[in-house]
Amino acid sequence: MLKPHALCRSVERIRPERLLSRGIRAAIVDLDNTLMPRDTGQVPPPVREWLRAMQDAGLPIVLVSNNWHRSAEEAARELGLPIVTKAVKPLPFAFWKALGLLGVRPRECAVIGDQLFTDVLGGRLVGCLTIMVPPQSSHDLPHTLVLRRLESLIMGKSAAELANEESSCG
């Protein structure tokens, strides 16, 4: 439950065609530190291109975020993506809601995020394929930084170190 199915150095390295070949039809994607660094709040151009490539490949995306601020909704609107906020990941409710919006079964959906205890655990609990990426920025909420120390203890290394050792992902 506390191990992602795959680790990628960044979201833009996740290849839509690989997901399709694994029977994936849609994706639930985390927002903070997965698509945009928490310190800048700006989605980098390569990430925007990846989002477009996913949708061009026929893989719709719903964002699921534990963030409860209006900024998360504004970011989603700017990206043109639906979002479920105040998700309380790893609880399953927001994932179920997103799966309903996407119209896919859990095993047809990838959950992509930067945190083991929210994105990976939550995605695993509902039966999705889970792909972890290292956080885009070391800037994060205090309780998240504590969780990251725990993540490294459980995984043996940080997500960034592990992702660097991976030859492929997705």
Q: How far is CA 8 from CA 12, 74, 78, 85, 135, in A?
A: 9, 27, 25, 24, 11
Contacts of Mg ion in 43-72 (CB under 5 A):
none
Candidates 28, 29, 33, 35; binder of Mg ion (CB under 5 A) is: 33
Binding mask 69-98 for Mg ion (x = CB under 5 A): ------------------------------
Q: Does 32 interact with Mg ion (rule: CB under 5 A)? A: yes
To the nearest whole angstrom, how small is the minimum distance from the Cβ of residue 55 to Mg ion? 21
Buried b / exposed e over 21-47, threshold 16 CB at 10 Å, is eeebbbbbbbbbbbbbbbeeeebbeeb
What is the C-alpha to C-alpha distance for residues 114 and 119, in angstroms, rounded to an integer? 7
Nearer to Mg ion, 112 or 126 (CB): 112
Q: Does 140 interact with Mg ion (rule: CB under 5 A)? A: no
Contacts of Mg ion in 12-31 (CB under 5 A):
30
Q: Does 151 interact with Mg ion (rule: CB under 5 A)? A: no
Nearer to Mg ion, 30 or 151 (CB): 30
- Please calculate the CA angle 150-13-66 and round it to the nearest 5 degrees: 45
Query: Are the C-beta atoms of 24 and 109 separated by less than 8 Å?
Result: yes
The residues of the shown chain that bind Mg ion, judged by CB under 5 A, are 30, 32-33, 114
